[in-house]
């Protein structure tokens, strides 16, 4: 039987202080104050970004990809449906996200994009709690835990994750931190709960758990570690090699991202074995270097002191950097979530290593001060919070546009359940229905399904609503031709928004 109470030698803190020990009461008061300070930081982060994400949704600055995708997916599962018209795929043909089912009861109660975004903001902020617990356990100091929890909240990537709105792998950050902490404490029951919760949000999360299982095995708990790694790898393999091709008529939905390295998972492996320079070139080019700098600088590169833990993020980092598109190679989007998990855990473990090896506490606090300074400087230079230079550069819709009153009235005129085609910035406000397409879909199949298939019939559309300001010349011309045919009647055309209702087939 595996004990859940024993503590491995490597996790015992040895702060090496020459100061007299404080009384138990003094220590408890100090720990309580440290926890309260972190709690206040978490609350401030939730309130700040909670307000901002609601503004972004309510002021029509959210998009079909991906807010519309996730909201329609949850609504479809809540109503026993499966085909997602925003993306043109089955819900589980897009990603392995059974975690959606946790939100289904909230959908029945009327939950929608604002609730999903607030849940994600709360999960992001509360992820600082297991960081606090792990740091306190590794160092014996609650104040180190508070400092590193605040450093995590200050990382510019966390603000960008909030800005990008709801994404499953971002929600998985907190349970991944909790699973790692439970593995360190050998609390295997809770470890299993948190690990299962984490992998339920996306297939890629399973790769982190595979590596975590191997680390657990290397640390001495071989049986638990190998079972963890094996089950997580089986989960990933079943989805990527069997479920996705089955739901997508033999295709893998992400293959367009990897066309020059093999396309499919097996193709990527073949490329890595037969032409490794193709992979290594992508991992060492300028884009990769910028990614390493921006994700590591806020932590002053202290995570490099814990290279084993950094391997947790290696699979996702490699997958991000070998794509054919630029947006997977930046901290701006959710693709950086799993690498950030590894960096943050590496930060704590690196600081724990220093705490055990360096005998002078003043040196240790100097390092913590450097990390705090790095996180603050980078969040000012790159971050989206009110203290960041990017805050007023258009990321957040800080000013209400008068024309938005028009589109709100138009949206209210569309019956619930009607089939709709809408421009990408209006889709998240119409996504709780069986048929909602991002115009020019379904007239022109674009960013839909795999290679534009399956094509859908435009005759199924009952309402059409568009923001002319976001249409390019080609799509604007298509809209004018559709309206000129007489099959749609213009109900409202004002302030750049046009609403039309089908009157004949």
pLDDT digits (tens, 9 = 90+) for 408-429: 999 999 999 999 999 999 999 9
pLDDT digits (tens, 9 = 90+) for 457-482: 999 999 999 999 999 999 999 999 99
Smallest Cα–Cα separation from 120: which of 77, 42, 74, 174? 174
Q: What's the CA gap between 149 and 375, in Å, rounded?
A: 11
104-143 pLDDT per residue, tens? 999 999 999 999 999 999 999 999 999 999 999 999 999 9
177 within 8 A of 131, measured Cβ to Cβ? yes
Backbone angles phi, psi at 105, to 5 degrees: -60, -35
Least-confidence region, from 20-24, 67-71, 90-94, 160-164:
20-24
The per-residue pLDDT for range 393-413, each reduced to its tens digit, is 999 999 999 999 999 999 999
pLDDT at 12 over 50: no
Burial annotation 169-195 (CB, 10 A radius, 16+ → b, else e): bbbbbbbbbbbbbbbbbbebeebbebb
d(CA 218, CA 225): 8
Give the pTM.
0.94
Contact between residue 176 and residue 197 where contact means Cβ atoms under 8 Å apart: no
CA distance 329 to 340: 13
């Amino acid at each position: 039987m595996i004990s859940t109470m024993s503590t491995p030698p490597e996790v015992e803190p040895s702060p090496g202080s020459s100061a007299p020990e404080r009384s138990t009461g003094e220590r408890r008061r100090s720990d309580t104050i440290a926890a309260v300070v972190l709690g206040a930081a978490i609350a401030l982060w939730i309130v700040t970004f909670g307000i901002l994400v609601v503004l972004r949704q309510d002021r029509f600055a959210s998009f079909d990809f991906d807010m519309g995708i996730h909201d329609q997916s949850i609504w479809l599962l809540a109503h026993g449906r499966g085909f997602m018209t925003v993306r043109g795929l089955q819900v589980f043909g897009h990603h392995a996200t059974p975690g959606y089912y946790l939100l289904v009861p909230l959908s029945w109660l009327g939950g929608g994009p604002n609730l999903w975004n607030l849940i994600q903001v709360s999960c992001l902020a509360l992820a600082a709690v297991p960081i606090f617990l792990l740091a306190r356990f590794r160092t014996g100091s609650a104040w180190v835990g508070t400092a590193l929890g605040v450093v995590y909240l200050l990382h510019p990537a966390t603000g960008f994750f909030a800005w990008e709105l709801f994404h499953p792998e971002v929600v998985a950050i907190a349970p991944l931190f909790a699973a790692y902490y439970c593995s360190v404490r050998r609390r295997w029951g809770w470890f299993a709960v948190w690990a299962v919760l984490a992998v339920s949000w996306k297939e890629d999360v399973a790769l982190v758990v595979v590596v975590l299982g191997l680390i657990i095995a290397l640390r001495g708990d071989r049986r638990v570690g190998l079972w963890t790694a094996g089950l997580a790898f089986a989960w990933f393999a079943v989805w990527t090699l069997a479920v996705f091709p089955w739901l997508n008529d033999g295709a893998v939905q992400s293959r367009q991202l990897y066309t020059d390295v093999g396309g499919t998972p097996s193709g990527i492996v073949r490329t890595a074995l037969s032409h490794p320079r193709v992979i290594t070139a992508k991992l060492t080019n300028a884009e990769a270097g910028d990614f390493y700098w921006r994700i590591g600088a806020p932590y002053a590169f202290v995570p490099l002191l814990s290279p084993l833990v950094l391997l947790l993020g290696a699979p996702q980092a490699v997958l991000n950097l070998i794509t054919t598109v630029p947006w997977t190679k930046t901290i701006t989007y959710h693709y950086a979530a799993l690498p950030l998990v590894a960096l943050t855990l590496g930060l704590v473990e690196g600081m724990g290593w220093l705490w055990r090896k360096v005998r002078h506490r003043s040196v240790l606090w100097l390092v913590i001060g450097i990390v705090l300074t790095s996180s603050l400087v980078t969040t000012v230079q790159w971050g989206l919070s009110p203290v960041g230079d990017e805050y007023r550069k258009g990321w957040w819709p800080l000013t209400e546009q008068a024309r938005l009153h028009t589109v709100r009235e138009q949206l209210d005129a569309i019956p619930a359940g009607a089939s709709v085609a809408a421009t990408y910035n209006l889709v998240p406000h119409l996504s709780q229905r069986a048929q909602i397409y991002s115009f020019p879909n379904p007239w022109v199949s674009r960013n839909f399904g795999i290679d534009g298939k399956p094509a859908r019939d435009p005759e199924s559309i009952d309402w059409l609503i568009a923001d002319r300001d976001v249409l390019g010349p080609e799509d604007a011309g298509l809209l004018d031709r559709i309206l000129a045919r007489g099959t749609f009647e213009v109900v409202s055309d004002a302030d750049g928004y046009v609403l039309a209702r089908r009157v004949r087939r």
